[in-house]
Structure 1
């Protein structure tokens, strides 16, 4: 197998590339570098600069590198931006996937792993653990594009005899190495780091939810565990039947409240200032925690790293990139 990893220079993509290459898989990375960083990709892994919207480029990459499987991570992923620019999200996330699937089918590729999201569930209501059979009702265009992407992947798999898998990530944090850390300020851990670095208190959006401490509860997954899950899923696909499909949650199956997470961040950074409570954000679910049983049963995978390890590794990366 030779795997093309789209978005392979991004925060998650670079972890996946390193994990797969380190495990002996042949890997090619594709990234337009709009958010990715070339330095994240190991020297021994070819990096092609370009977009999954570029059909001619994809044809050349498939032919020149003998690609036999695809891990598709390239996508726009900011919820607020998706609300402000929905057409861009549909064009890039769904349109890019459609272009990629057409090129893959023409090249005879028969294995495809799709990066989906827990955002497909929307607000799941008062459930302890979200199973893959829970209703999908995304509440923003980003989540809609991920759900539409799943539909498209499965349809293409049936039409072209591809074995496919969709991984629904929950909240990703941490870094396998400081140089691979998340440099964006869009997810909660770097958002809190950014506030502390600017000598501001962390923010909590709502403290009156029906949860033990009133703040939202989420399932946080270490990015290194997520990369392990991609390797397990890729190897599952290598032996899967033509046209088969698999959809699995990727999470720890354990809930952590926003207050609990901020407390851990305070312990790691030494900055324990009291967070400021602000108004709720529209669409935030009180609780969103994965059932991780299907991933264990189908892929033989479980998360191994805890929240403190996520925060500590992310903090090392933050300090490196901030020049501390």
Structure 2
């Protein structure tokens, strides 16, 4: 607390005391003024005059008592408000300290410390709704910076790779801090006005997210080959040219998702929801589409009641084209 704040508080207290003393002195006399001497002398009985003066004094004392009780009540309310404010200030200070420490942990060379920082940020987001967007931004930046898939760069990888590496360890073993960050991002609460999640050009091969929420996420040119994403919501997400070969997307929700030029060879899409998805130029060779909902899927900027196989989309061999409807007029 600064010297100026202390001085202002002292002035306020002195002003309040002066107001209370003045009120106790002046207000009772204004409400119940003393009886004029002429009126008292008009009462012949001395005992009656004394009773009148005592009654007048009691009325003034009643006003003083009421004022004292009101003042005490206001002081109690003021004290409670000051205490609540101090608690809030202390809480905000603690959250700021935890936030700062968690960010420092993300920059550690020790993977265990980084994992601790990731989970500390989740705790901050859970306790402070005002910091949720900042935590999401930080965790997304952490994933992009520490698990890059630099497609198109001078030394960038071939996208998609010639084959899916079946011997590559799961992400939680390979880079457990990235797996932890993705798990938290997939658990983030869905609130109106939440910012879009940017995870384009990241290496998330063999990531494991079950029944997660990655709604409205940009994952362009990302590598999610052999990812485990059953039941995950990817509504309205941008998966243009994303590598999803051999990914498990069983019962996943991709309503309105952009899957233009996506690589879905061998992907499991059983009972997945692909309503209104854009499948232009997508490669679904060998994909399992049993029970998948393709209502309103788009191919080459044309909307269909189902999806329509043409030269821009590669469907699995022996795919039941009878499921595909004619263009919507």
Could you state the TM-score of these two structures normalised by the residue count of structure 2? 0.23
Structure showing greater radius of gyration is: 2
Q: Please, what TM-score do these two structures have when normalized by structure 1?
A: 0.23
The structure whose RCO (Cα within 8 Å, separation 6+) is larger is 1
